[in-house]
Amino acid sequence: MTQHRISADELGNLGPLAQLIGAWEGESGHDVAPSPSRGVGENRFRERTVYTSVGRVDNHEQILYGVKFATIAWRIGEANAFHEEFGIWLWDAARAQVMRCFVVPRGISVLAGGACRPDSTEIRVAATLGSPSYGICSNVWLDDHFKTLAYALEIKVDGDTLSYEADTSILIKGRAEAFAHRDRNTLRRVES
């Protein structure tokens, strides 16, 4: 799948993903994550996400349309990124399903999905550990020390404004209850 110029027909085939195309930036991010001591850490951050259409993706009889993305985030006041994600969103119009397949370069991959209307400005996806369809996979160390149990993401798009909330449930080694890792931000489209 390579980047290409998007036609009006293709844009229409992307369903709810069409509104994501472009580059987005935001500086009002809030991250609640395990601290280095495995307590509660809170960070403010800025981020940039770029969405590019990859067009039609044929999977035997299943016809999908995709949008690849790359996200990078920096703590406010710091030059080095603390978080990155790479992946692809897929739209299955026949099943009214949207999917977010992504990798976090710490050894985590997620396939999250959910029902969605083609004209929706709100997209919700979720994944759970052990699910045969929308699931989570981690490296051996993470699975032992910071086991990801569930992931949910809600995106709302209003023209050139995109806001999101992500909730990740993590079981930290030695604790009985899961940690609620939460991220949220509001981004503005800076390039179409």
- Confidence (pLDDT) at 5: 63
Which residues are paired to 56 by β-bridges? 65
3 has pLDDT over 70: no
Q: What is the mean pLDDT of residues 22-35?
A: 96
- Confidence (pLDDT) at 38: 86
Q: What is the mean pLDDT of residues 141-164?
A: 97
Q: What is the mean pLDDT of residues 7-16?
A: 83
177 has pLDDT over 80: yes
Residue 44: pLDDT band (50, 70, 90) is very high
Which residues are paired to 104 by β-bridges? 108
Residue 144: its H or E element: helix 140-145
CA distances to 12, 125, 180 from 152, rounded to whole Å, are 26, 6, 11
Average pLDDT value over all residues in the chain: 94
190 has pLDDT over 50: yes
Query: Taking the domains of the chain in order of start, what are their residue ranges?
Result: 8-191
Q: What is the mean pLDDT of residues 97-113?
A: 96
**Separation between Cα atoms, residue 76 and residue 57, nearest integer Å:** 38
Cα 41 to chain center, whole Å? 21
83 has pLDDT over 90: yes
- Confidence (pLDDT) at 10: 73
Q: Is 77 left (phi over 0), alpha (psi -120 to 50) or beta?
A: left
75 has pLDDT over 70: yes
35 has pLDDT over 90: no
Residue 123: pLDDT band (50, 70, 90) is very high
Residue 144: pLDDT band (50, 70, 90) is very high
**Separation between Cα atoms, residue 72 and residue 82, nearest integer Å:** 8
Q: Which two tokens stand for residue 62?
A: 């299943």
Superfamily of domain 8-191: Calycin beta-barrel core domain (2.40.128.20)
Measured in residues, the chain has a length of 192
